Structure 1
C-alpha cells in the first residue's frame, strides 16, 4: 500500500489495557467507522501465536475500511500477517535492515525525537516519522517531551510525512497547529473514552480543520 500523507491525519495505536471486557476488534472498528485513517497494532504482552492471529484479524478489519495497517516493532509478525508495514523505534532493529527485510513496497515508520534522527531515518528509507513524546504520556513513562520548536524543525528538515505522538488529546491538540505535522497518533484519546465513536468523530473533525493537506 502506497503511503498518502492524508492517511496519517488520525493515526490510532492499539492498547488493550483500556478496553476492560470489550474486544479490541470491536472497539477499533468503532473508531474506523468514525474516521481513523491509519492503524498500528501495538502488543507487548502477547505470545507469538496470539499476536499473529490478532494481527491477521486486524489486517482484515483495516482492509475493509481501506486504512493502512502496520505492526509495532515486530517485523516477523508484520510479514506473516501481510500487514502494510511496520513501525520501529530508535532502539529497535536498524532502519536499513528493517527496510531490506520488508522490501521497498511496504510502509516503514520510524520514531524520531531530534532533527538528526529524523534526517537519518529519511535517508535510510523511512516512509514517515512518528515524533514525540509531545506531551506527557502513561504509555511510555520514560519518554522525553519534544518541544513545539523541535517538532516544527523536524517537519521543515524532511520531505516525508510527520505524525506527532505522545499524550495528545482533544484538549491539547490545537496547540500543534502550525507545526507542519500531517496528523496525530493517539491511544487513550480514543480507546480510553466511554464513547469511542464520539471521541473519534470529534478528534477527526479537529484534525481536518487544523492539519491542511494539499
Structure 2
C-alpha cells in the first residue's frame, strides 16, 4: 500500500514568526507544508520561504498557494492552485518540474484538473469547518465517488479530525490536509502526532486485511 500523505496548511492568521515556528516544530512529522497566505505580498512570501529554509524545513516539503512565480523563484516543491489561479495546463507547460496541486469541489473539477496535468487534487470541504461557515460539507461518500473517478491522488481537506482519519482514508483518499487542526492548536506537535498515529493505525489495519484477503484467495476461499 502506498504511503498516505499528511499535508498541513497555514490559516492566514499566524504572524510570519508563528508560521515559521510551527513549521519548524512539525515538519519532521508531515509530508508537505502549504504556505497559504492570501494577504501577503510576493516579497513577504519570498521572505518566509527563506526563513523556513533557515529553520531547517526542506524545500521539498514546502508548497506555496497560488503564487507560481514565487514558488518557482524559491525552488519549493510545488504550488497549490485555486479557482482564481493560473490554469493547470499553463503552469504545467511553463514551470516544468513543479508539483501542481489543484483545489476542487466536484468530480467534474477533479476530472478537468486531471486532463490538464495536475499531479494531485485537494478535495473538500469534507466536514463542517470554521473556514467554510454556511457551506454544506461534501462528506465521505462524495469523496469516495471522486477517488473512484480519477486516477491521480486525491487529498481530502476540511474539518478533518483524528477520529475521521480511518473513514477518510478508507474512502480512497491518498492523504489528508489539515489547517486549523494544527496551526490553531495550542500544541501543534501533539496535534500532528495524533493525526500521524491514526494514519499509521489505518495502514497497519489495511495491510493486515490485504494479507488475509490474499491468503483467502490463494487457498481458494
Find out whether 1:27 has 2:19 as its counterpart.
no
Q: Please, which runs of 5 or more residues in structure 2 have no aligned partner?
A: 211-221
For residues 128-207 of structure 1, the aligned pairs below 5 Å read 128-141=120-133, 144-207=136-199
Note closer, same or farther for the CA distance 1:87–1:21 as it changes in structure 2 (3 Å cut).
Answer: closer
Matched residues in 1 for 2:63 and 2:125: separation?
A: 20
Q: Which has the higher contact order (CA 8 A, sep 6+)?
A: 1
Q: When the two structures are superposed, what TM-score results if normalisation uses the length of structure 2?
A: 0.82
Instruction: Check whether the contact 2:8–2:32 (CA below 8 A) recurs between aligned residues.
Output: yes
Instruction: Check whether the contact 1:115–1:157 (CA below 8 A) recurs between aligned residues.
Output: yes
Matched residues in 2 for 1:139 and 1:57: separation?
A: 27
RMSD: 2.4
Instruction: Check whether the contact 2:12–2:38 (CA below 8 A) recurs between aligned residues.
Output: no
Q: Please, which runs of 5 or more residues in structure 1 have no aligned partner?
A: none
Matched residues in 1 for 2:8 and 2:118: separation?
A: 19
Note closer, same or farther for the CA distance 1:76–1:175 as it changes in structure 2 (3 Å cut).
Answer: same
Instruction: Check whether the contact 2:60–2:77 (CA below 8 A) recurs between aligned residues.
Output: no
Note closer, same or farther for the CA distance 1:140–1:92 as it changes in structure 2 (3 Å cut).
Answer: farther
Matched residues in 1 for 2:30 and 2:9: separation?
A: 10
| Residues 36-83 of structure 1: CA deviation (Å, up to 9, x unaligned) | 1111111112222122111233356331xx753211011111111111
Alignment partner, residue 44 of structure 1? 38
| Greater share of residues in helix | 2
Q: Runs (4+) of structure 1 moved beyond 6 Å?
A: none
Find out whether 1:74 has 2:67 as its counterpart.
yes
